[in-house]
Amino acid sequence: MRFEGDHKTVKQHFSIRWQLPLSYAGIAFFAVVILGVMLLTLLQNHYKQQERQFLLRHAQHVKNAIGMDWARGLPLDHRLRWLSLLPQTHIELTNPDGEVIANSEAPNMFIISGTIAIDDVVYSPQDVPSINPNPPIQLNIIPFNDLRPERIPGVTIVYDETYGFEIIDSPLEVRFEREYSSQVVSIPVYSPQDQQFLGTITVSGGPAVGRDVLKSVTNGWLMTGGIAVLLAAGIGWVMSNRITTPLTALTYSTQQLAAGNLSIRSTIDRQDELGILAHSFNRMAEQIENNIQTLKRFVADAAHEIHTPITALRTNLELSVENTPSPQNQQALNQVKQLERLTNDLLDLSQIESETNILFEPINLAKLMGELSEIYASRAEQADLEYVLILPSEPVVILGSLSRIQRAFSNLLDNAVKFTPAGGQITVKLSQKGDVIIQDTGIGIPSDDLPNLFERFTRGRNAAQYTGSGLGLAIVKAIVDLHRGHIWVESDSTGTRITISFPHP
């Protein structure tokens, strides 16, 4: 099992900085889509209704124009072609049995001559001689296959947006450029004399009203909608920055406080909830700093005050053991020595944690580990342990306090020798990157004890029979933190592996 002794930073996979502008953009997008769909639907229904009304009026006009001729049984195909020409409709007549009796067929291209009046519907001269539009449109109507230049007078260019044709004079022609409606209307026809049902007039096609308007509205909707979404995203980004910038600063302050920087304070100065939060954080940090400093001063003072009488007591017990040897005196001397180590460790830990402006110097880790190994290799040999040292060929230099780093490695090597049974192995390895690995084949550390391994007075449940103060690893952790390094532990029943990494200068 592995335990990392430094503070981990929580990764933000999807920050509020992005959530807010995306939310604004999403709301704007859905609003634009809903409004656009509603608008286009209303316009489309409106224009479809206009197309249907146009076809109904045209069907009524066809009914009025051919009703008498239909009742008399006269041919109607020619009339239907004329009636469907300019409106560009398709007209079909069916008898009561549903059989087609006349059809305008596909509209043909004509050259126009004579007087054509355009009111709500386009008419041929013979259909509506009494209609007098204002102003009338003077055109020439000639069958296309009878086109001769000498029969064409000068004609003014005319473009009718309602029916979609254009008249030009070189050569004179009619061009139908509109899309056609998909609407179909049918009306019944009765005889003017006896109201007998003659059949049905079905009109389809005709101008597709409003297609250009719908296209323009759609293009405008897409353009303005895109601008609205981008604008909303921009506003969301500005608002998110106003919120997340102080939150980021406050998050950094909390991380620094959690990492042991008790003097950190938030610099947020706002008159809102974030300002209140920052103020509360500063009060909390100040209270924590005061409490910890008070506790540290108490521990340091207590250790210092206890150290003097303990030293005197130890001297007296040593003299007593020397003059009057007995198991009781020896046991008392051992207890005093352990108490003296405890007070010394507390003093060291207090000094390490209170150091803020310590002066660092270049340290050759390869040389330091070599010197320490000379001492601990001898101790390992006396304990019937194999000591293996692996160093890089090049120097490994870091910046730090030589005495503090030496103390950290000494504590770790003391533990390795202490907790490794005879016949075991201790391996010390230094990499070129500056990582120091101390591995042993000792009793290991129970997995339940790993999370609290670097706390004060914490000892493994399987280490009760070994002497110690429970402050050794806490001192190591404090020294590593002082040098902004990292330490992590991997341990099981086969041994323990501790890795320390220091930053490069």
**In the prediction, which pLDDT does 370 show?**
92
Residues 453 and 333 in one domain: no
Instruction: Give the domain range for residue 421.
Output: 361-501
Q: Is residue 345 domain-shared with residue 366, that is, in the same domain?
A: no
Helix (H) or strand (E) holding 377: helix 365-382
Identify the pLDDT of residue 1.
Answer: 52
Shared domain for 462 and 422, answered yes or no, is yes
Is 346 in the same domain as 278? yes
Please indicate, yes or no, if residue 223 is contained in any of the structural domains. no
Domain CATH for 303 = 1.10.287.130
Q: Is residue 368 part of a domain?
A: yes
Domain shared by 497 and 401, yes or no = yes
Work out how many domains the chain is built from and give that number: 3
Q: 277 and 197 in one domain?
A: no
Q: Is 446 found in the same domain as 385?
A: yes
Does residue 135 have a cis peptide bond before it, meaning omega lies within 30 degrees of 0? yes
Q: Which residue has the tokens 């201790």?
A: 426
Q: What is the pLDDT of residue 341?
A: 76
Residue where a domain terminates, one of 209, 242, 258: 209
171 part of a folded domain: yes
Final residue of a structural domain among 162, 182, 209 = 209
230 belongs to a structural domain: no
CB 470 within 8 Å of CB 343: no
Q: So what's the pLDDT on residue 7?
A: 44
| Residue 29 resides in a domain | no
Per-residue pLDDT in tens (0 to 9) along the chain, 505 residues = 555 554 444 444 557 778 888 888 888 899 889 998 998 889 888 888 888 888 898 888 888 888 888 888 888 887 787 777 767 788 899 999 989 988 887 544 443 433 333 333 333 434 333 333 333 344 444 333 333 333 334 333 333 333 333 333 333 344 444 577 788 999 999 888 788 898 999 998 877 777 777 888 888 888 988 898 899 888 888 888 888 788 888 888 888 888 777 788 888 888 888 888 888 988 998 888 888 778 777 766 776 677 678 778 878 778 887 777 788 878 887 777 777 777 777 777 777 777 666 778 999 999 999 999 999 999 999 999 999 999 998 899 999 989 899 999 999 999 999 999 999 999 999 998 889 999 999 998 888 888 888 888 777 777 777 777 788 888 899 899 888 899 999 988 889 999 999 887 7
CB atoms within 10 A of CB 343: 20
Residue 60 falls within a domain, yes or no? no
Residue at a domain's end among 300, 335, 354: 354
The strand pair at 486-492 and 495-501 is best described as antiparallel
Place of tokens 């450029």: 177
Three state DSSP letters for 143-178: CHHHCCHHHCCCCCCEEECCCCEEEEECCEEEEECC
| Residue 318 CA: distances (Å) to CA of 113, 333, 467 | 139, 7, 20
Q: What is the pLDDT of residue 74?
A: 83
User: Do 375 and 344 have their domain in common?
Assistant: no
Give the domain CATH number at 470. 3.30.565.10
Does residue 127 belong to any structural domain of this protein? yes
Q: Could you tell me if 365 and 484 lie in one domain?
A: yes
Q: Residue 445: inside a domain, yes or no?
A: yes
Q: Is residue 172 located within the same domain as residue 123?
A: yes
E-strand ranges in 104-246 read 111-116, 137-142, 158-160, 165-169, 172-176, 184-190, 197-205
Residue with tokens 């809903």: 34
